[in-house]
Amino acid sequence: MLGIFKIAYKLLVNDRAKFAALLVGITFAVFLMIQMTSLFSGVLSRSSATVINIGATMWVMDPAVQTVANSIPMPDYVLDEVRSIPGVKYAVPLYSGGALAKLRDGTYQFVTVMGLDDATLFGRPRLIDGNIQDIFAENGFIVIKDAEFAKLENPTIGTEFELNDHRVKIVGIGEVATSGLFGVPTLYTTYNRALQYLPNTRFTASYILVEPKTASDAAVIAGRVHAMGYLALTKDQFIDKIAAFYTFRTGLGTNILLMTVISFIVGLSISGQTFYTFIIENLEKFGALKAIGAKSRELVAMILFQAAFTALTGYGLGIGLCAVMIWLARLRIPDYAAVITFPNIGLAFAMVVIIAGISSYVGVRKVLTIEPFDIFRG
Amino acid sequence: MADVAVRAAGLTKWFGEGATRTLAVQNVSFEAFFGEMLYVVGPSGSGKTTMLSMVSGILRPNAGTVEIEGTDIWRLSGDEIATFRLRKLGFVFQDYHLFPRLTTQENVAIPLILQHRDWDEAMAEALRDLKIVGLENRAALPPVKLSGGEQQRVAIARAIVSRPEILILDEPTASLDGDTGRTVLSFVRRELLTDQRCIIIITHDARIFEFANRIMHMEDGKLTGITQAGAGPMEVAGET
Ligand SMILES: Nc1ncnc2c1ncn2[C@@H]1O[C@H](COP(=O)(O)OP(=O)(O)OP(=O)(O)O)[C@@H](O)[C@H]1O
Ligand SMILES: [Mg+2]
């Protein structure tokens, strides 16, 4: 049986031009599919960065909130009511907003400011330099060292700049798990200082972070919050809600889907078409093999082998190309959002299997219907 | 009398149904013997290829039987007939059907590969037969680089590589000039005809009749007679 596959391999690979066209078709399709979907995955995970970094179990928010960055402030009584719900272990406010920093050279830089509950500092980042207690010192802010850090001129402890005409003093350098989508540096301070520095409405809390006593309390809390006219989501629900917003309410999801479908169709047509010509060109020879005594299932095995070999090679090249592209992009844009995830790779694999399946189905049908008698007759 | 290699009885084949039905072969019976070269001749459309396709297990007859070395081949299953063809029969098709993307040697080895023989062994035997047809120095080339006569010899090497008892050649000289045709046929007769092998050749070419033992004449799907030919009955003749 091995010899048959060796013959199949040689028939395929020795036809340099067609083999190259097949590989280009599949590689291109896989590359585009993975590139598109991994960019999408990257964007989605970035869009929930705050939710992941803060790490609260439950989030209470205005029902109209669609993404974590666009919070809608809630009146103070909501915090008190949430605290009185049975099943709530503790609840703290979170401030999330944006401000303009005026750097020493006089340029302005937009920053995200997170205000942490003064009593607990719940959701604080891991510090790589400085002391967390210094956040209570005069003008104390912590800066996150991520890809956007340089936009604040690489501050160190003691660096000062202006924020909305207030003085800021960096007292700590922190790090977080996921960086954000918008390419903006992030500062942390206390809730009260955030309110003081940043303009706000009558209402103040962007989110209320809730820790239920037990996992089963989450549903009860959600129900009670709902009755108050607000929305309580678990961390995963909130991430899903944000993902759904970017996927369905912006052009992003549709465009990615469209690009994925187009790359699939292009890949399918290039590879399918080339494989078809390849089979047609060798059809008489396959018929001659039948006349000599090859069994149909052996010919089918040869064709499936050729399709599988091409598909897997193209798949590997496509993934490799994609990894190289992302690596190159990271050299220029350190915070380039694309991440290759297993679902991306799996989706591309499924599409490659479909491409190979359709291409070889056509070939197999042709080879099965060829009559050795017609070959014999010439 | 030599042993019977092929015994065909009452072979009949028609194509189509109703008004368009053509009777391609009608009630043909004959025997072919080991050690003989049997020609099948007749006008175009007289049913030669159809008849030999039934004899070689490629086309199922509407009526009649074919026995090869005592096996009633059309009683076998599809896979069994394929295996039978692979082991007992060698074919030289009219337009060779060599794979252009394989080397000459790999082309010749194909019947052995289909028999699931070891690759290196198959290649060695292919080279042995390329030597027999005088083309060992072309082993690594693709067949398209060879002349028509050389391709013909490659096809012959492929047909004999598994040492089949029955060798079937369809119009072997159709695309060769007269001299090359005679050279190929005299080679076939001299080198390939043994008393364990029966060679059946379809031809229009009167210039090669001298190499036949017997000639079957067909017309309108019917066998009209069998005549003794140049090479005489049943002895293996040399060229000189
Ligand atoms: N698949 C088919 N369908 C319909 N008719 C067929 C088919 N195959 C052969 N025939 C008919 O059967 C008859 C015999 O054909 P066959 O090919 O056996 O002739 P032949 O003697 O080999 O001719 P040639 O010398 O031209 O090769 C012809 O009339 C042909 O048209
Ligand atoms: Mg014919």
Share of chain A above pLDDT 90, in %: 44
Give the number of other CB atoms < 10 A from CB of residue A167.
12
| Residues A30-89: tens digit of each pLDDT | 888 888 888 888 888 888 888 998 989 999 999 999 888 888 999 989 999 999 999 999
Is there an atom of ligand 1 within 6 Å of B46 CB?
A: yes
Please give the Cα distance from B90 to B178 (Å, whole number).
24
Name the pLDDT band for A1 (thresholds 50, 70, 90): low
CATH of the domain at B129: 3.40.50.300
Please give the Cα distance from B67 to B56 (Å, whole number).
10
Of B58, B87, B118, the CB nearest to A376: B58
| Residues B11-62: tens digit of each pLDDT | 999 998 888 899 999 999 999 999 999 999 999 999 999 999 999 999 999 9
Pair B201, B38: CB distance under 8 Å:
yes
pLDDT of the residue at A336 = 76
Q: How far is CA A28 from CA A18, A274, A313, A352, in A?
A: 15, 14, 12, 11
Contact B59 A288 (CB under 8 A): no
Judge whether residue B237 has pLDDT over 80.
no
Pair A116, A156: CB distance under 8 Å:
no
In a domain, B140, yes or no: yes
Contact B102 A298 (CB under 8 A): no
Sequence-separated (6 or more) residues with CB below 8 Å from residue A150: none
Sequence-separated (6 or more) residues with CB below 8 Å from residue B204: B41, B44, B171, B174
Pair A130, A157: CB distance under 8 Å:
yes
Shortest alpha-carbon distance between residue A17 and chain B (Å): 12
Q: How far is CA A66 from CA A226, A238, A253, in A?
A: 16, 9, 15
For atom 17 of ligand 1, the residue with the nearest CA is B49
Q: Which residues of A113-145 are buried (b: 16+ CB within 10 A; e: fewer)?
A: bbbbbbeebbbbbebeebebebbeeeebbbbbb
Please give the Cα distance from A167 to A172 (Å, whole number).
16
From the list B180, B181, B198, B184, the residue with the least C-alpha distance to B236 is: B198
| Residues A288-324: tens digit of each pLDDT | 899 999 999 999 999 999 999 999 999 999 999 988 9
Judge whether residue A254 has pLDDT over 50.
yes
For residue B23, count CB atoms less than 10 angstroms from its CB and return exposed for 0-12, middle for 13-18, buried for 19 or more: middle
A126-130 and B4-15: which strand pairing? Answer: unpaired
Residues of B in contact with A289 (CB under 8 A): 110, 114
Judge whether residue B228 has pLDDT over 50.
yes
Q: Which residue has the tokens 């949430």?
A: A82
**Range(s) of the domain holding residue B96:** 4-228
| ipTM confidence | 0.86
| Residues A143-163: tens digit of each pLDDT | 999 888 888 888 999 999 998
From the list B149, B174, B166, the residue with the least C-alpha distance to B44 is: B174
Shortest alpha-carbon distance between residue B57 and chain A (Å): 9
Q: Find residue B6's DSSP bridge partners.
A: B32, B68
Whether the CB of B163 is below 8 Å from some CB of chain A: the reply is: no
pTM to 2 decimals? 0.77
In a domain, B69, yes or no: yes
Residues of A in contact with B99 (CB under 8 A): 11, 282, 285
Please tell me which residue of chain B has the smallest CA distance to A372: B58
Of B87, B93, B171, the CB nearest to A375: B93
- Of residues A1 and A24, which shows the higher confidence score? A24
pLDDT of the residue at B234 = 52
Q: Find residue B15's DSSP bridge partners.
A: B22
Of A284, A373, A378, the CB nearest to B58: A373
Please give the Cα distance from B196 to B166 (Å, whole number).
9
Per the prediction, chain A carries an average pLDDT of: 89
Per the prediction, chain B carries an average pLDDT of: 90
For chain A, the domains span 2-46+251-376, 75-229
**What's the gap in Å between B15 CA and the centre of ligand 1?**
9
In a domain, B54, yes or no: yes
Pair A140, A169: CB distance under 8 Å:
yes
pLDDT of the residue at B238 = 38
From the list B97, B29, B95, B22, the residue with the least C-alpha distance to B67 is: B29
A108-116 and A140-144: which strand pairing? Answer: unpaired
Shortest alpha-carbon distance between residue A304 and chain B (Å): 17
Task: List % helix, strand, coil for chain B (3-state, nearest 5).
Answer: 40, 25, 35
Q: What is the dihedral of CA B65, B27, B41, A285, to 10 degrees?
A: -50
Number of structural domains (chain B) is 1
What backbone phi and psi angles, to 5 degrees, belong to B179? -65, -45
